[in-house]
Structure 1
Amino acid sequence: MTAAVFDHDGPWTEEEYLSLGETSQRVELFDGSLHVTPAPTPRHQRISRKLGNILEPAAEAVGLELLEAVNVRLRPGRVPIPDLVVTNPVDLDDPNVEAHEVRLVCEIISPSNAATDKVLKMHYYAAAGIDWYLLVEQDSGALRLYHRRHAHYVEHSAVKRGEVLELTEPVQATVRPEDLVP
């Protein structure tokens, strides 16, 4: 992949992006530019697995899917890879999940890319019409749930250690920060 990335001239098309194939790094496409991040830390992955373990049965109970680290096409040429998504049933062999199929998107904030998750992706997800956005702070496990109002998110609830986040849409689930972060 390295040679393909560094030898490339000009903006990236979605077709060129998809031709990179699977990589050990998270490679996202934002309006012709690649955003490459190293593999997540063990702490990040533990939080993702624990949260996924809570959300998956809740999603299945209402006929939805929980998917981890998949391409989500927000619009042509804009393809992030969220940590977790709850979607309508989708074609599991399609390289992209379309934004209109995503009901909840979850990002675990890494210290190295906090601005991307809190600003850039938040704006892009809302503009694409994804109704719910859940942010998890890696260090504390604090949770912030946002609901889309028009083209922006507004905070629906925020919890820290010792408190409980009760999700009622698009799934019903109870999340405690101490269950996610050791």
Structure 2
Amino acid sequence: MTAPVFGHGGPWTEEEYLALGDTPERVELFDGSLFVTPAPTPRHQRVARLLANALEPGADAAGLHVHEAVNVRLKPGRMPIPDVVVTGEIDFDEPVVDAASVKLVCEIISPGNAAADRVLKMHYYAEAGIGWYLLVEQDTGALHLHRLEGRHYVEHSVTKPGGTLRLTAPVLAEISPEALLPRR
């Protein structure tokens, strides 16, 4: 018999989740259950940083902020850690960003959790009313931009290598898939 993760049994509360503090794994909370994944690879982290860098000038001009790997409360008990988010005004000292402040959420698709990013998180982000969702394929840099229509996302654009994503909302930005990939 294996011990429960982090020595805890049963559903997790937000307070218990936040009390975990820093862990070597990425730990997210979904309706009382923890979703634990290994720390991201250097490729994943480079893509996240370059994506955040590409969004920063447009966010600054729009009076918005870009953050990497922060807790986002979609609703009580549902707290993912998106790779990159663009927000309005937030309290920079709080450990959690409320979904109502998030304008754009970005996930870099990892081979081990592609279904979570493409299905589970997409559904949860839409249900929370986040206007834009950007999925990045970390192997090719392809960019899949979705916009919220009602309570569901619809594909707004797909940008493959050789193309350029031209964001007009919630920030102005041009992003080339190749610019997100590590130099060979």
Distance 1:50 1:6, change over 3 A: closer
Deviation digits for residues 124-150 of structure 1 (CA, Å, limit 9, x no counterpart): 000000000000001100000000011
For 1:91, the equivalent position in structure 2 comes to 91
Residue type of the partner of 1:22? D
1:30 and 1:41 map into 2 onto residues whose CA distance is 23
For 2:117, the equivalent position in structure 1 comes to 117
Residue type of the partner of 1:162? G
Residue type of the partner of 1:82? P
For 2:31, the equivalent position in structure 1 comes to 31
1:18 and 1:31 map into 2 onto residues whose CA distance is 14
For 2:101, the equivalent position in structure 1 comes to 101
1:29 and 1:20 map into 2 onto residues whose CA distance is 11
Q: Secondary structure at the match of 1:146?
A: strand
- Residue 9 (structure 1) shift: 1.8
Residue type of the partner of 1:151? R
For 1:10, the equivalent position in structure 2 comes to 10
For 1:169, the equivalent position in structure 2 comes to 169
- Residue 8 (structure 1) shift: 1.1
Percent identity between matched residues is 68
- Residue 4 (structure 1) shift: 8.0
2:49 and 2:25 map into 1 onto residues whose CA distance is 18
Residue type of the partner of 2:151? A
- Residue 25 (structure 1) shift: 1.4
1:87 and 1:4 map into 2 onto residues whose CA distance is 35
Deviation digits for residues 26-56 of structure 1 (CA, Å, limit 9, x no counterpart): 1000000000111110110111111111101
Q: TM-score by structure 2 length?
A: 0.95
Number of residue-to-residue matches in the alignment: 180
| Stretches of structure 2 lacking an aligned partner (at least 5 in a row) | none
| Stretches of structure 1 lacking an aligned partner (at least 5 in a row) | none
For 1:151, the equivalent position in structure 2 comes to 151
Q: Secondary structure at the match of 1:44?
A: helix
Residue type of the partner of 1:126? A
Q: Secondary structure at the match of 1:63?
A: coil
- Residue 22 (structure 1) shift: 1.6
Give matches, 1:39-50, under 5 Å.
39-50=39-50
2:7 and 2:109 map into 1 onto residues whose CA distance is 31
1:46 and 1:164 map into 2 onto residues whose CA distance is 19
For 1:74, the equivalent position in structure 2 comes to 74
2:26 and 2:50 map into 1 onto residues whose CA distance is 20
Q: Secondary structure at the match of 1:124?
A: helix
RMSD: 1.1
For 2:129, the equivalent position in structure 1 comes to 129
Moved over 2 A (4+): 3-7
- Residue 6 (structure 1) shift: 4.0
